[in-house]
Structure 1
Amino acid sequence: MVAQKASETSKPPKAATKSGRPRRARDSLSREIIVAAAEAVVERDGLDRLTFQAIGEELDAHPTSIYRHFRDKDELLLALIDTLRARSYSGAMVATDDWMADLRAQAHLIHDHYLRYPEFALQMALRRPTDFMSMEFSIGALRRGGYGPEQAALYARALGQLIRSATSIQAALTVLPADVQEADDLTWQMDYRRLDLDAYPNIAWVGGNLPGIRDPRAWETALDLLLESIERHAPASS
């Protein structure tokens, strides 16, 4: 009995993490747990700091254990984007009897999603299964508006590109530190005021009416103009 206790006490301790806690067992990880940890790392430290080493420290696990679930960082990042999209879109895109209202609601849904997760604005442009669902919804709305296959496909693509490109710019700016954003706003205003009036008479004419780069009215106006054009040319409206 004494010998047994002696052998137990002589066992080497499990390797500890920087937190001082024992490392998590390899078989206790799952794709869902790793994706959640990756999201936590990005929210706290930014996308540039997302590494398997950082995720391992977040989970008190050895970084190599993550390779059992994800081939590389790119595969993990795509899984994280799918998770975020599903969180924003799941059950939200529901067709109604107002196809124009559906397109507008979809535009705002995607816009809000990008601004909710601005760190991933560039990566979210990648085509994923959740994006196919969005395209299916757009084409379905345009089809109910009377558009044929060629125009429905073109307008759905145009609408999607407008939403994502405009929102990506907004999202990228929101990631900047607050002091950088304030300095950018000030520079934007001062540079326009210092322009040569003879060289830029039209800018001088609008004066202080020119919206700032983050002014939400610019996004809303661009969306209104495109949707109004789509509705005006729709066979169903005719």
Structure 2
Amino acid sequence: MATRKAAGQAKAPARQTGTPARPRRARDSLSRDIIVAAADRVVEREGLDRLTFQAIGEELGAHPTSIYRHFRDKEELLLALIDSLRHRSYSGGMVATDDWLADLRSQAHLIHDHYMRYPEFALQMALRRPTDFGSMEYSIGALRRGGYDREQAALYARALGQLIRSASSIQAALSALPSEVQDADELTWQMDQRRLDPAEYPEIAWVGEALPGIRDPRAWETALDLLLESIERHAPGA
């Protein structure tokens, strides 16, 4: 897959109407996989908000109505695209080892990296898909090897997945904003923090410049460390 548009960059302008039309495809030459791949190219080039059946039709040299033979609406197409992107990110990545805790850490990074690779889909990726069963199977297996019983493994796997995805989606959504918006937000936070009244916010004044910025990667890594340390500490075999 081609390198995706860097997070935070301005979106490319829409296709010019004066561009010569491509030759139309044969009527039965489309498939779900071909359409999903075209949708991915449109999103990468022009952004998620410009993903329409018209844009996909132009990308494929096909009439937009032909896409309805494979997808009933844009929502169904989006879910299929998300499944395809997850498969690319996760395929072959979740392999159980003798270290159950390291497996959970590896899985967390795999999920986080996926969100950061496709930040424009941060909101849509909150929807549960069939591809999530493989991830859940992996989490439960790791916790079971750690000594957790049936109910504990089920609960911890669900909690772990939600916390990792929540943190990742927030970070991804921020990274999808134009870079100038991210920089302005960071600068505003820093300036507002310096103006705070130490009498009203004594603890923030105490940490001062040591408070990491919202985009500081150490925040994610530290949150993951704390989460996994807690899971390890509560493991029956600890």
Kindly state the Cα deviation for residue 232 of structure 1 after the two structures are TM-superposed: 0.8
After superposing on structure 2, the runs of 4+ consecutive aligned residues of structure 1 that deviate more than 2 Å are 17-22
Kindly state the Cα deviation for residue 149 of structure 1 after the two structures are TM-superposed: 1.2
The answer to whether the aligner puts 1:59 opposite 2:50 as a matched pair is no
Aligned partner of 1:74 in structure 2 is: 75
Aligned partner of 1:94 in structure 2 is: 95
CA distance in 1, matches of 2:194, 2:157: 39
Instruction: Summarize deviations over 1:20-57 as a string: whole Å, max 9, x none.
Output: 33222221111111001101111111111111011111
Kindly state the Cα deviation for residue 85 of structure 1 after the two structures are TM-superposed: 0.5
Q: Retained in 2: the 8 A contact 1:114–1:167?
A: yes
CA distance in 2, matches of 1:19, 1:194: 56
Instruction: Summarize deviations over 1:123-149 as a string: whole Å, max 9, x none.
Output: 111111111100110010000111011
Aligned partner of 2:129 in structure 1 is: 128
CA distance in 2, matches of 1:129, 1:80: 13
Aligned partner of 2:116 in structure 1 is: 115
Q: Retained in 2: the 8 A contact 1:100–1:141?
A: yes
Code of the aligned partner of 2:178 = P
Instruction: Summarize deviations over 1:134-177 as a string: whole Å, max 9, x none.
Output: 01100100001110111111111111111101111110111111
2:198 is paired with a residue whose SS is coil
2:131 is paired with a residue whose SS is helix
Q: For structure 1, which runs of at least 5 residues remain unmatched after alignment?
A: 1-16
Q: What TM-score comes out, normalization by structure 2 length?
A: 0.90
2:199 is paired with a residue whose SS is coil
Instruction: Summarize deviations over 1:59-105 as a string: whole Å, max 9, x none.
Output: 11110000111111111111101100110111110101110000000
Q: What TM-score comes out, normalization by structure 1 length?
A: 0.90
CA distance in 1, matches of 2:187, 2:91: 39
Matched residues, number: 221
Q: Retained in 1: the 8 A contact 2:21–2:61?
A: no
Aligned partner of 2:49 in structure 1 is: 48
Aligned partner of 2:40 in structure 1 is: 39
Kindly state the Cα deviation for residue 18 of structure 1 after the two structures are TM-superposed: 5.1
CA distance in 1, matches of 2:20, 2:139: 48
Aligned partner of 1:184 in structure 2 is: 185
Aligned partner of 1:30 in structure 2 is: 31
Q: Retained in 1: the 8 A contact 2:22–2:58?
A: no
| Identity fraction in percent | 84
The answer to whether the aligner puts 1:148 opposite 2:149 as a matched pair is yes
Q: Retained in 2: the 8 A contact 1:18–1:57?
A: no
Aligned partner of 1:158 in structure 2 is: 159
Code of the aligned partner of 1:129 = P
Code of the aligned partner of 1:67 = Y
CA distance in 1, matches of 2:59, 2:32: 14
Highest CA radius of gyration, 1 or 2?
A: 1
1:119 is paired with a residue whose SS is helix
Aligned partner of 2:202 in structure 1 is: 201
2:28 is paired with a residue whose SS is helix
Kindly state the Cα deviation for residue 185 of structure 1 after the two structures are TM-superposed: 1.1
CA distance in 2, matches of 1:189, 1:53: 44
